[in-house]
Amino acid sequence: MSAMVASVAMKKFLRSMRVGALGLLMAAPAVEAAPTIVSITFGGGRTNQLAAASVLAAHGFKGTFYIMSGAMGLPGYLTANNVRTIAADGHEIGGLTITHADLTTVSLSTMVYEVCQGRQDLLNLGISPVISFDYPFGHSNATVQSVVQSCGFTSGRRSYGLACGHSGCAVVEPLPLADPYFIRTPPVVTSTTALGEIQQYIINAENAGGGFVPLAFINVCNGCDQWAISPTDFDSLLTWLAARSSQGTLVQPVGQVVSGAFVTTPPPPPPSDPVVLVADLSQTKVFPNPWRLDRHAGLGVTIDGLPPGGEVRFFTLSGRWVKTVVAAGGQSAWSLADDDGRVVASGIYQYLISAPGVRRKRGTLTVVR
């Protein structure tokens, strides 16, 4: 893995984190009302998606295309220039690892390489930002989500979970998103999915009071694959969606939805928040992240920009305290040993940065030995 990827610092953090004993919870801002927002998403980077991008643009829509970087240029897959063209037309390019590996079954080092290097491959094409991620096969867990976050992605999309047909199954992701690293979708569209069925996903979301419905596609073609929608049905769907904009149903890329760009007015600060902000920790960085033994042996983890009186507490994912690092002026460092001097193992570690009069900052650090 390149040094650039190995030194990727986490820029954005989960709006909502489920982290057990530590209880790190960052509440997403509230909005006055949630519109119904649809994302047209494509996985895999198949060749016919280039034409699909043009159809989207003809309707005035921007889609999200999750690209498996290792497949670019292979028969049946988009070339690097195709991907650049799609991005230049204003569509969002997201990550899908290098080889479409099931991240829940590989080692931590492989996981980090697949996610981080897959993103870096796309950035190397001159595409930026690359912030939305598609879990291969829709599979993820807490470790996968933490790696996706630490590699620089701001969201993770599954390929199921909405409109599943079972009693109690949700029909829409509420906005703002409770967990942007666990975005659900209706079933992936196949050659047997009727146009009316896809439209009903949107109608049900509208009737439920609005929210987010990411539609998952792979191919747009006539009979080329089981996982496909016909060009006629795809065009009809977009025409139908365009007509629904007058009633508040919008089409936006995933990254735009996750960023909260659908909010028309900024929400007022919560009146019950007792914290008085005299500074912030936006410039405080923990790096390298991920830390890798093969590249950073003999070096610790640096905490840069920690204000006087500040500290960083490191925990395991289960919430067990590992080490506290206090401000030392300029830069502080952690030697990757716990409070008893024992070297920590490979894994994902939570951290909590705090300082007097400053809202706390939370994140995760990946260690690969």
Q: Which of 260, 262, 269 minimizes the C-alpha distance to 248?
A: 262
- Mean pLDDT highest for which of 68-77, 163-172, 281-290, 323-332? 68-77
Domains of the chain, earliest start first: 13-258 (3.20.20.370), 285-368 (2.60.40.1930)
pLDDT (mean) for 194-198 = 95
3-state secondary structure of 163: coil
**Lowest-confidence pick of 105-109, 210-214, 304-308:** 304-308
Q: Which of 85, 54, 49, 47 minimizes the C-alpha distance to 65?
A: 49
Question: In terms of DSSP H, where are the helices of 187-291?
Answer: 195-207, 231-243, 254-258
Q: pLDDT at position 145, please?
A: 95
Q: pLDDT at position 231, please?
A: 94
Residues above pLDDT 70, as percent of the chain? 83
Q: pLDDT at position 359, please?
A: 74
Average pLDDT, the chain: 83
User: What amino acid is encoded at 344 in this protein?
Assistant: V
Q: pLDDT at position 339, please?
A: 77
Confidence of residue 309 (pLDDT cuts 50, 70, 90): confident
Task: Inform me whether the pLDDT recorded for 267 exceeds 70.
Answer: no
Q: pLDDT at position 160, please?
A: 86
Top pLDDT among 321 and 11 is at 321
Q: pLDDT at position 25, please?
A: 33
pLDDT (mean) for 30-37 = 65
Confidence of residue 11 (pLDDT cuts 50, 70, 90): very low
Contacts of 131 (CB under 8 A, 6+ apart): 12, 94, 152, 153, 154, 155, 255, 258
Cα–Cα dist 127/182, whole Å: 24
229-252: pLDDT as tens digits: 999 999 999 999 999 988 889 999
Cβ pair 305, 283 in contact under 8 A: yes
Contacts of 290 (CB under 8 A, 6+ apart): 6, 8, 112, 116, 147, 150, 151, 365, 366, 367, 368
314-348: pLDDT as tens digits: 888 777 888 888 877 667 889 999 877 889 998 88
pTM for the full predicted model: 0.68
Q: Which residues pair with 213 in a beta bridge?
A: 38
Q: pLDDT at position 131, please?
A: 95
pLDDT (mean) for 58-71 = 95
Burial class (CB in 10 A: 0-12, 13-18, 19+), 89: middle
Task: Inform me whether the pLDDT recorded for 22 exceeds 60.
Answer: no
Q: pLDDT at position 317, please?
A: 75
Cβ pair 310, 328 in contact under 8 A: no
Task: Inform me whether the pLDDT recorded for 274 exceeds 80.
Answer: no
Task: Inform me whether the pLDDT recorded for 119 exceeds 80.
Answer: yes
pLDDT (mean) for 286-314 = 86
Task: Inform me whether the pLDDT recorded for 14 exceeds 70.
Answer: no
pLDDT (mean) for 263-268 = 38
Top pLDDT among 286 and 14 is at 286
Q: pLDDT at position 264, please?
A: 35
Q: pLDDT at position 285, please?
A: 86
pLDDT (mean) for 44-71 = 94
Cβ pair 161, 201 in contact under 8 A: no
Cα–Cα dist 222/344, whole Å: 54
109-118: pLDDT as tens digits: 999 999 999 9
Residue 215 exposure: Cα atoms within 13 Å on the Cβ side: 29
Residues above pLDDT 90, as percent of the chain? 53
- Looking at residue 113, the DSSP 8-state letter turns out to be I
**Lowest-confidence pick of 21-30, 47-56, 164-173, 210-219:** 21-30
Task: Inform me whether the pLDDT recorded for 269 exceeds 70.
Answer: no
